[in-house]
Chains A and B, each alone.
Chain A
Amino acid sequence: MQHLRDAWEAMQDRLFFLPPLPDQVDPLILFALLVVAGLLVGQLLYRHFGLSRIVGYVLAGAIAGPGALGWLNTETLALAKPVADTALGLLLLETGRHLDLRWLRANRGLLPAALTESSLAFAGIFLFSYTIVGLSAGWSAATAAITMASAPAVVLLTTEENHAQGQVSQRTLLLTALNCAFSFVVFSCVLGVLHAEQTEDIFNALIHPFWVLGGSVLIGLGGARIALGIARVQQESPVLRVFVLVATALLAIGTARMLAVPVFLSLFMMGVALSLLDKDRLLSYTNLPDGHWILAIVLFVVTGAMLPLQDLSWSSGLLALGLLLVRGAAKFAGVLWAGQRDLPMAKRRLVGLGIQPLSATAIFMAAEIVGIYPEVGSQALLLPLLAAALMEFIGPQLCRHALQKAGETVPEPTRSAP
């Protein structure tokens, strides 16, 4: 190494444009290597063990992250945060676009099913956190708000990865979009409860939920209107419409970041707004480019690196497992018993299984709160983060199993990998 340094410095004497020999690898290089590693591990697990690729991406991030080998430190993760925000934002935009109100109107059993499974999940997790874990009411509510929703990124990508089509796939996607919507509203309200509990600052406790929710709605609506406005004058080119969609999504992501409004919530709102406002179907048939898979890999690698695996102990692990069991049972029961009488019981069970994933959205929601209360938040929200960590590895498998069991995926030999 010393020889290299000497040689470099000798060259610097002759070549004035040379920078000093870098002391460490640029984080972008490290990150690029990690994305490739994630891709390779994902492919390996997929080909040889039949596991979802998502598990491989998360595993690569977790191994390289601060909790294990430490190749990715906090600074590197901070550098990747805008990319991960963009990835999650785009996936939530898609989730929002899946919220089809016409379907809800045509099939009156769907909304009761979503309401029941979300409410049962919130109530179950709140009671578990309050009575068994011993968290305060505010932190219990935060834990419940964060973990009551399914993982839209996992469900969406698992459906795409397996080319799944059918009632189980469609209803899993719809219930995920609905429980995300409920979870985001509850999350906004819980922010106020936490402020009241932590600071007794009633003014902020009242205003912050409105800032978060109202801000997301306005950014989402604004993004959708701008996208539709540009698409209206660019109707003839499908490629340009993809650019319009991506560019306005980036605009919304940037605005949300600037105004401290959650990116995932703003982009979800933009997706819902696009679904509702696009009466002339200007962007209805425009899909994200296939490149969003690369962003998804970044998202899951970052998510893996953000998992607090260093804090995992027998006791905390058991509590996280307990939370997942309560949550899983509540969601399963809600889907089985409420609404959807038109779907055979066997398929309802599979939908109950398909909506189990818990992932990036929960981790990013927790990060929002930890950002406000760094001293107490990271410890108080350890439980949902550990639950998300465990579910990162189980969730994609459960979702894939449900879709496969329903016979809605395409057998491997007849499809190409995305």
Chain B
Amino acid sequence: MKPTYQLPFTASRALTLGVELELQLVSPRDFDLTRAATDLLASLHHDGRHGDVKLEITESMIEINTQPRQDITAITQDLEGLRALLVDQCQKNNISICGGGTHPFHRWPERRICPGERFAFLHDRYGYLSKQFTVFGQHIHIGVTSGDDAIWLTHALNAYVPYFIALSASSPFQDGTDTHFDSARLTAVSAFPLSGQAPGTLNSWADFEKHLELLQACGVAHGIKDLYWDVRPKPEYGTVEIRVCDTPLHIDRAAELAAFAQSLASYLLRERPVISPELQGLVARYNKFQACRYGLHAELADPIAHQTQPLAHTLIVLLDTLRPDAQALGCRAQLEHLREVCTQGGDAHWLRHYLHTHPSLPELTRAATERFAQKSAYLHTKPPATPSHTSR
């Protein structure tokens, strides 16, 4: 039966990319979060050629969005352009800016909701959760040609969510404490009633329209923006959006994650492997927890093989599988770099190591601001070498 509710899907060119990063605005005096977003946005003057800068839910966050691009080099150029713009303007306003999924020691009651109808609605609806939502994520958009492809790819990508979490994890500290998680950010997202994964029963765009119609009729959701799914279709952009990544400490890692998403989508759409959304759904929360808690050392449940598998090992195998797609898309270097991250550790590891040698959370945040201020190695030098604990 055709749904009465129509949600048009704007087709886009397959595998186009877009990246959104939520960034932290901190005071250079004590490196605590500061209320600065509205002032910063008002003082920015740019032509928009690299994308957009937007307010996020609280005054201590700012969001950058790249333009939709076909390849990772253009995405990196956009991220670099927006990074340079923000770092420069922040210096003029005596603000510092950094990545990372959580601020290590801010007090959430001190956050202030940004002006705007949508933010006021969220604050009204979710109460304190809206202030605790001062966490910082990376969203990756991948273009698809139809709504049906968007639903299929949403399900297909859901199985790979733990990999994105582990590779991007950069939020081991919260409330001044080591959480013993590599990514503590996602627990803030899990508190929202419509978080999780797309129901496995959705097989087409028409199914999705019916699902959304039901949620709207029951008053559960007003629109697609209320679905805080790990991966969700974005019909107005014609994309599938991966929403589980922490904002990395540097834009090059953000570009590498986007390259991974693009290569993976290319592989999936080309090979069309058999997927089992309902079966995967049974272990999705457990696997997500494993990736958040242990990062690259997680053990993932495989509901098809009836066994657990070490995340790092299966990720390396996957990255090897994606090599031909990465080669074709021009992002082989980025994937090679992620392969090295699998063995040497990512941002969460870097943050813990830095705090071990410099035992001060403000100092850790300062180091994160310095790291974010560095130019992209992909654009300004030869492709970056393996990250060490003290470089890039």
Contacts and interface: CB of A to CB of B under 8 A. Distances in A.
Nearest to B60: A165
Interface stretch (B197-205, B343-351, B355-363): B355-363
Interface residues of A, number: 25
A397 B298 CA distance: 57
Contacts of A174: 94
Contacts of B337: none
Contact of B91 (A106, A163, A285): A106
Given A107-B91, A167-B93, A414 B366 contact: no
Contacts of B31: 285
B39 interface: yes
Given A106-B92, A285-B31, A167 B39 contact: yes
B39 A414 contact: no
Contacts of B35: 165-166, 408
Nearest to B109: A414
Contacts of B30: 285, 287
Interface in A323-373: 342-344, 347
Nearest to A107: B92
A414 B36 CA distance: 19
Contacts of B27: 165
A163 B110 contact: yes
A284 B358 CA distance: 14
A287 B31 CA distance: 13
A170 B94 contact: yes
B43 interface: yes
A376 interface: no
Contacts of B112: 410
Interface in A147-200: 163, 165-167, 170, 174
Contacts of A414: 109
Interface string A90-104: 000000001010110
Contacts of B42: 344
Interface string B21-42: 0000001111100111011001
B363 A285 contact: yes
Contacts of B91: 102-103, 106-107
Interface string A273-293: 000000001001101000000
B363 A342 contact: no
A236 interface: yes
A20 B31 CA distance: 57
Nearest to A103: B94
Interface in B50-109: 91-94, 109
B94 A281 contact: no
A102 B28 contact: yes
B364 to A, nearest CB: 11
B110 A166 contact: no
Contact of B92 (A284, A342, A344): A342
Nearest to B365: A285
Interface string A75-119: 000000000000000000000001010110011000000000000
A236 to B, nearest CB: 7
B43 A343 contact: yes
A189 B29 CA distance: 32
A60 B110 CA distance: 32
Contact of B36 (A166, A284, A347): A166
Given A103-B94, A107-B92, A163-B110, A285 B36 contact: no
B28 A100 contact: yes
Nearest to B33: A165
B89 to A, nearest CB: 8
Contact of A285 (B93, B110, B362): B362
A236 B360 CA distance: 9
A281 B366 contact: yes
Nearest to B43: A342
A391 B229 CA distance: 57
A407 B28 CA distance: 21
A278 to B, nearest CB: 12
Interface string B191-212: 0000000000000000000000
A343 B89 CA distance: 12
A167 B40 CA distance: 9
A407 B34 CA distance: 14
A342 B45 CA distance: 10
Contact of A281 (B39, B92, B363): B363
A327 B360 CA distance: 44
A349 B391 CA distance: 44
A32 B362 CA distance: 37
Nearest to A407: B38
A359 B255 CA distance: 54
A174 B92 CA distance: 13
Interface in B10-30: 27-30
B109 A236 contact: no
Interface in A281-319: 281, 284-285, 287
Contacts of A103: 28, 91, 94
Nearest to A106: B91
Interface string A389-414: 00000000000000000011010001
Contacts of A284: 29, 362
A106 B171 CA distance: 30
A283 to B, nearest CB: 11
Interface in A255-283: 281
A408 B35 CA distance: 8
A170 B42 CA distance: 16
B29 to A, nearest CB: 8
B202 to A, nearest CB: 41
A251 to B, nearest CB: 24
Contacts of A344: 42
Given A285-B30, A285-B31, A285-B362, A165 B109 contact: no
Given A103-B91, A107-B91, 17 more contacts: A102-B28, A102-B91, A107-B92, A107-B93, A165-B27, A165-B34, A166-B35, A167-B43, A167-B93, A174-B94, A285-B31, A342-B43, A342-B93, A343-B43, A344-B42, A408-B35, A410-B112
7 contacts: A106-B92, A107-B92, A107-B94, A167-B39, A167-B43, A347-B39, A410-B110
Interface of B: 27-31, 34-36, 38-39, 42-43, 91-94, 109-110, 112, 359-360, 362-363, 366
Across the A-B interface, give the 9 residue pairs with the lowest CB-CB distance, nearest first.
A106-B91, A285-B362, A103-B94, A165-B35, A107-B92, A167-B39, A165-B34, A342-B43, A106-B92
